[in-house]
Amino acid sequence: MNNRRGLPLFTFNCQSLRAHIDDLDDSIVKNSNVLVLSETWLNNESEINITNFKCIAKFKRPNTRAGGVGIYHNSNDVVNIVTSSIDFSVFSPDFHGSLASAVGDLCMAQCQMENGMKILIVAL
């Protein structure tokens, strides 16, 4: 039997997180360590609480009706470390947490597993 611990991750195209917040009240979501959300339609100042999850990174381009992405970490997950403080290079600029382009929104977080392996989680 394989006893390696994975990273339960749930992705959801919300098409308005406010309108579909109740859809996240599900056993599959509750057993996920990370939520990767797209089309949240939330501006960067908006705060929305998802029970037992904390927002790690989020972004939405200004002056657009739709769009928006977010990454949430399960508050009960004490093994994995999820952070939005990541350094990496996109062509030339250094990048931390979120990025806008003419095409869409992007945010990311890094997860360090119990065995030291690092996983980059990206919401587009």
What number is the average pLDDT over the span 15-42?
A: 95
| CA distances for 122 relative to 3, 4, 26, 27, angstroms | 26, 23, 23, 23
pLDDT tens-digit readout, 83-107: 776 554 444 333 445 555 666 788 8
**Which residue type, as a one-letter code, is found at position 77?**
D
Residue 71: name the closest of 8, 9, 7, 5 by CA: 9
User: What pLDDT shows up at residue 11?
Assistant: 96
Q: What is the pLDDT of residues 31-75, one digit of tens each?
A: 999 999 999 999 989 999 999 999 998 989 888 889 999 999 999
Distance (Å, whole) CA 95 – CA 73: 21
